[in-house]
Structure 1
């Protein structure tokens, strides 16, 4: 999930300042991976129906991650990486 998506979702329930405070804390817990020209090229030439899913997938591949965690497993049918829901991941 991108910070832009997360901010958007938080802002639906909270004011922008509160959303930013949460993101500042969240940033301490995660590593932010780059979206570079190569990844964007892969995304634009991919067969993914969902642009954001393609960004997440190719960012994971290019950064040698070993799993995708998502609520929408069906959007990653052709993934070369294992795809799990958060619940499946936590229950492993």
Structure 2
């Protein structure tokens, strides 16, 4: 029997009588500093545009992600958007699970996640926003009390309580000289 001072702490007994080992506490990710700038949910387009280098939109998307990584903009993505980003990065950009997960990890270092739960999905089904996926993003932005939805397709969010703006318009609102 090991020395009592060196005994490993274990969790409560399971129904089958075996003891479950406690999982080590995971260190929380470094959260970006809370900027005194408008908070916005970042729609999928700016992130994917940056990684696919889609012409005129790529520069705005790059600047947007750079400002978020520097803590000068407080951006969110919805949980469902994050899975879409992984899927698109894996399917069309890298064709490699490990590199696609690195993209997600890089984004999580500088972006926050707006939670999407049962309530948001239910409200989205009855929303004035026509497309259900966009309605879920709009409801997540509303619940998180965000100022804007950053998207290339502003008209898709016409019925949203949270106003939709383009990446360039958001950048201009963040980069206003003080």
Q: Is TM-score (shorter-chain normalized) higher than 0.5?
A: yes
Deviations 1:30-88 (A, max 9, x none): 11121111111101222433221111100000111111111110111122222111111
| Structure showing greater relative contact order (alpha-carbon pairs closer than 8 Å, 6 or more residues apart) | 2
User: Aligned equivalents of 2:134 and 2:87: distance in 1?
Assistant: 16
Structure 1 stretches lacking a partner, 5+ long = none
Whichever structure has more helix as a proportion of its residues is 1
Write the distance in 1 (CA, Å) between the matches of 2:107 and 2:141.
19
Aligned residue-pair number? 92
Dislocated runs of 4+, deviation >4 Å: none
Gaps of 5+ in 2: 1-43, 45-80, 174-178
Considering fraction of residues, name the structure with more strand: 2
Larger radius of gyration, structure 1 or 2?
2
Structure 2 residue aligned with 1:13: 93
Give the alignment's Cα RMSD to 1 decimal: 1.4
Q: Please, what TM-score do these two structures have when normalized by structure 2? A: 0.48
Compare 56-65 and 78-87 and name the one that shifted more.
Answer: 78-87
TM-score (norm 1): 0.88
